[in-house]
Amino acid sequence: MTDEPKLKSHGRLTIQANAVPRDLMEPRHVKGAWVARVITLFPEAFPGVLGLSLTGRALDQGLWRLETLDLRTFGEGKHRNVDDSPAGGGAGMVLRADVLDRALVKAAEAADWPVVYLSPRGRRFDQAMARQWSQGPGVTLLCGRFEGVDQRVLDHHRIEEVSLGDFVLTGGEIAAQAMLDATVRLLPEVLGNQASTEEESFSDGLLEFPQFTRPVVWEGREIPAVLQSGHHGEIAKWRRAQAEEITKEQRPDLWQAYLDKRGQAKKR
Q: Footprint of ligand SAH on this chain (CB under 6 A)?
A: 118-121, 143-145, 147-148, 163-165, 167-172, 175
> In this complex, which beta carbon is closest to ligand SAH, that of residue 59 or of residue 95?
95
Which is it for strands 94-95 and 83-84: parallel, antiparallel or unpaired?
antiparallel
The distance of closest approach from Cβ of residue 116 to ligand SAH in the complex, given in angstroms and rounded to an integer, is 9
**Minimum distance of ligand SAH from residue 184's CB (angstroms):** 18
The least distance separating ligand SAH from the CB of residue 81, rounded to whole angstroms, comes to: 17
Closest CB 146 distance from ligand SAH, rounded Å: 6
User: What are the two backbone dihedrals, phi and then psi, of residue 65, each rounded to the nearest 5 degrees?
Assistant: -125, 140
The pairing of strands 34-40 and 138-142 is parallel
Pairing of strands 160-163, 115-124: parallel
C-beta of 129 vs 190, nearer to ligand SAH: 129
Nearest residue to ligand SAH by CB is 144
Return the DSSP state at 252. Answer: H
Task: Kindly tell me which of 115 and 243 has the beta carbon lying closer to ligand SAH.
Answer: 115
Give bridge partners of residue 116 from the DSSP assignment.
141, 160
For residue 165, the minimal CB distance to ligand SAH (Å) is 5
Query: Cis bond leading into 188, ω under 30°?
Result: no
Helix/strand/coil percentages in the chain, nearest 5:
40, 20, 40
